[in-house]
């Protein structure tokens, strides 16, 4: 995975194995899955990785080659989660703190400059705007990115936005998004068996939308396009 080599370049400080503290605060969904893949790739490349995630981490059933610390919790409140993060940065003394998701979009702009005093900070820019597109949240999110030594983006378009909004001092790395293949286990599921398990016909075209159902996901656009799709393909189905 190219991410392992790229992160090694960002944080290399000599012959000793690099220590990376990976911060993923939610513990669920696509970012949690991406983070698991990245941690596994880094660990496979000889990096000492510690993942800081949520107590409700949905991938706890998976065995991993990296350390997992389920230290974040909604019940701890913002200051409690900040304390948990700062304690672990002080204890682990990592070369790099790699942030996949922040604790609070609104308040973390003050946090990451403090963390950067102890370690290099890398942030993955999963979104160029906050999901609900609240202007204040957009501003504070980019203040978080501006505090980083380097920002990882997944697309050329995101790289362009980052170059426009961040100073020349912030390094930008374009690393394409990985897949979620690890979720399927040792064997790839059979297509017909998967359809049968979901009560779907064995033939016909399917449009599949999975994950959180939120306005920013574009589900309304898919539903609006369904009539036209069925005019072209009478057997088409939308599965959400």
Q: How many CB atoms lie within 10 A of CB 214?
A: 10
Q: Each residue of 93-105: pLDDT tens digit?
A: 999 999 999 999 8
Structure tokens at 69: 């610390």
- How many domains in the chain? 2
| Strand segments (E) across the chain | 19-24, 48-54, 67-72, 96-101, 120-124, 150-153, 171-174, 206-208, 237-239
Host domain of residue 135: 2-181
pLDDT at 5: 56
Are 164 and 202 part of one and the same domain?
A: no
Tallying the residues shown for the chain, one arrives at 240
- Judged against a pLDDT cut of 90, whether residue 92 lies above it is answered with yes
CATH number for the domain that contains residue 42: 3.40.50.2000
pLDDT at 55: 98
Are 200 and 176 part of one and the same domain?
A: no
Are 97 and 169 part of one and the same domain?
A: yes
């Amino acid at each position: 995975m190219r991410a392992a080599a790229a992160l090694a370049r960002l944080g290399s400080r000599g012959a000793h194995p690099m220590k990376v503290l990976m911060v993923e605060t939610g513990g669920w969904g696509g970012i949690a899955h991406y983070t698991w893949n990245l941690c596994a790739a880094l660990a496979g490349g000889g990096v000492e990785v510690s993942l800081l995630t949520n107590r409700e981490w949905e991938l706890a059933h998976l065995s991993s080659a990296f350390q997992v610390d389920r230290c974040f919790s909604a019940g701890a409140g913002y200051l409690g989660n900040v304390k948990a993060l700062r304690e672990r940065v002080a204890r682990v003394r990592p070369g790099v703190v790699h942030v996949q998701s922040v604790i609070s979009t609104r308040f973390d702009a003050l946090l990451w400059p403090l963390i950067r005093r102890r370690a290099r900070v890398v942030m993955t820019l999963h979104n160029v705007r906050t999901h609900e597109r609240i202007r204040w949240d957009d501003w504070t999110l980019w203040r978080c990115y501006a505090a980083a030594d380097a920002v990882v983006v997944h697309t050329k378009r995101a790289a362009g936005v980052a170059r426009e909004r961040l100073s020349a001092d912030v390094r930008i790395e374009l690393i394409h998004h990985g897949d979620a293949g690890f979720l399927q286990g040792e064997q790839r599921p059979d297509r017909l068996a998967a359809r049968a398990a979901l009560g779907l016909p064995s033939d016909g075209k399917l449009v599949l939308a999975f994950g959180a159902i939120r306005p920013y996901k574009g589900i309304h656009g898919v539903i609006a396009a369904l009539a036209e799709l069925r005019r072209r393909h009478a057997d088409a189905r939308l599965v959400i």
